[in-house]
Amino acid sequence: MEAHGGHAGGLDSQILRMLLDGYTDTTVALRLGVGRRTVQRRIRQMMDTAGVNTRIQLGWHAREHFPLLDPCRPAPTPGRKVQG
């Protein structure tokens, strides 16, 4: 859900994945080696880009538009097709 290009990638993808997994902003920041305010700012930017008002809406938007980020869906194995 990068602001440029409209897709999840890089730091935003990692933040979003950890948010979907239930981690707090502080834990996300510590694990990714960035500041908590950076995490909060990136989440706000993703929410603005997605046109949503809450983190729950952001999670739903991510699930609908970026199914590979869905924690309930197994990650694709290299060389194998993912059915879904």
Q: What is the pLDDT of residues 13-69, one digit of tens each?
A: 999 999 989 999 999 999 999 999 999 999 999 999 999 999 999 989 988 887 666
The verdict on residue 25 lying in a domain is yes
The verdict on residue 35 lying in a domain is yes
Global confidence as pTM: 0.69
The verdict on residue 51 lying in a domain is yes
Domain count for the chain? 1
The verdict on residue 2 lying in a domain is no
Instruction: Determine how many CB atoms are found less than 10 A away from the CB of residue 8.
Output: 19
CATH number, domain with residue 56? 1.10.10.10
Domain that holds residue 52: 10-69
Residue 46's Cβ-count burial label (10 Å; 0-12, 13-18, 19+) is buried
Phi, psi (rounded to 5 degrees) for 78: -55, 130
